[in-house]
Amino acid sequence: MKCERCNQRPATVHLTQVINNQKTEMNVCEYCARELQQEAWGFAPQFDLHHLLGGLMGYDYSPSIKTGMSQTCPKCGISQSRFVKVGLLGCTECYEAFEGQIIPLVRRIHGTGQHTGKVPKRTGGRARINKEIKMLKEKLQEAVNREEFEKAAEIRDQIKSLEKKLQ
């Protein structure tokens, strides 16, 4: 069987790609396989992190659609369209200038818009307990607001138990 790409050398490599449940197969020679590997297999458009981030922010990369991206940072002057294209902010004030676009993006990726950080299990016992107490206090307040007093009492007892561990 000859290479499906160059039709000159024998096909020794079989490539298979599945995207959206559509299977594409190709039999190529070693030379063409190397070229395709450098071109990200040549089957689909190149994966681009910046396009992914822009897509998560709801922007279309079609050349004809450039609306809704006129906001700029007052300090460094980077435009919203530049941020979407490059995927990098220009300065610390960009976070405030583009907050309306960045916070929903972070929530989509991380599930929350607030950075909580991580604490190593070995050394972070107290920090982990404090964090759990804080979370339980928020749940307690929600239970009280919903007038679920039995559940609130259980949460209160959990908080007291954790506070004893801290002492």
Could you give the number of structural domains in the chain?
Answer: 3
Residues 99 and 146 in one domain: no
Q: Which domain holds residue 134?
A: 125-166
Q: For residue 63, what pLDDT band results from cuts at 50, 70 and 90? A: very low
Q: Which residue has the higher pLDDT, 60 or 122?
A: 122
The 10s digit of each residue's pLDDT in 93-152 is 888 888 887 887 777 777 777 776 666 666 667 878 888 899 999 999 999 999 999 999
d(CA 84, CA 54): 5
Percent of the chain with pLDDT over 70: 74
Show Cβ contacts of residue 33 under 8 Å, excluding neighbours closer than 6 positions. 13, 15
pTM: 0.35
Residues 42 and 54 in one domain: no
- pLDDT at residue number 40: 52
Residues 59 and 15 in one domain: no
> Which residues are bridge partners to 25 per DSSP?
16
Mean pLDDT, residues 9-35: 85
- pLDDT at residue number 49: 55
Residues 41 and 85 in one domain: no
Answer whether residue 120 is part of any domain: no
Residues 77 and 96 in one domain: yes
Residues 84 and 132 in one domain: no
